[in-house]
């Protein structure tokens, strides 16, 4: 990983319940950060909180799950499914922005 990349501290890992999301403000944009727990290990994903299908900042409130081999979040408004790895909408052509995310100690970090 590039040591010149600037990572921004967003929150404590315990601020995000397992298998759920939390909204945060990063660089003037609302970001939905998800903590997905499988086999006792956590994975973190960051996507835009703005739902392009409904026009509302609600993605952090979506329901997470799997469709095939993809980890997804379902919009709480119209229920479109978005891949948490890529931001791709599985039903329509409108996608979510994604951010690289990592954990250092107990802190969740984002970068552009």
Per-residue pLDDT of 9-44, as tens digits, reads 999 999 999 999 999 999 999 999 999 998 889 999
**In the prediction, which pLDDT does 38 show?**
85
Instruction: Label residue 96 exposed, middle or buried (CB < 10 Å: 0-12, 13-18, 19+).
Output: buried
CATH number (domain holding residue 47)? 2.102.10.10
Joined together, the tokens standing for residue 88 give 């791709």
**In the prediction, which pLDDT does 39 show?**
84
**In the prediction, which pLDDT does 5 show?**
83
pLDDT for 2 beyond 70: no
Q: Is residue 15 part of a domain?
A: no
Give the chain's radius of gyration (CA, Å). 13
Q: Is residue 4 part of a domain?
A: no
Q: What would the pLDDT profile of 43-87 be if each residue is shown by its tens digit? A: 999 999 999 999 999 999 999 999 999 999 999 999 999 999 999
Q: Is residue 19 part of a domain?
A: no
Note down the domain range covering 85: 25-110
Q: Is residue 52 part of a domain?
A: yes
pLDDT for 98 beyond 90: yes
Is 7 in contact with 21 (CB distance < 8 Å)? no
pLDDT for 3 beyond 70: no
Write the CB contacts of 69 (distance below 8 Å, at least 6 apart in sequence): none
Q: CB-side exposure of 98: number of CA atoms within 13 Å?
A: 18
Tell if the pTM clears 0.85, that is, is over it: yes
**In the prediction, which pLDDT does 50 show?**
98
Structural domains counted in the chain: 1
Q: Is residue 31 part of a domain?
A: yes
């Amino acid at each position: 990983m590039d040591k010149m990349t600037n990572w921004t501290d967003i929150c404590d890992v315990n601020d995000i319940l397992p298998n759920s999301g939390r909204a945060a403000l990063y660089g003037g944009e609302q970001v939905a950060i998800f903590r997905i727990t499988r086999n006792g290990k956590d994975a973190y994903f960051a996507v835009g909180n703005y739902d392009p299908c409904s026009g509302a900042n609600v993605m952090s409130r979506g329901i997470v799950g799997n469709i095939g081999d993809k980890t997804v979040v379902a919009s709480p408004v119209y229920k479109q499914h978005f891949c948490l790895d890529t931001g791709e909408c599985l039903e329509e052509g409108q996608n979510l922005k994604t951010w690289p995310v990592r954990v250092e100690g107990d802190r969740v970090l984002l970068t552009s």
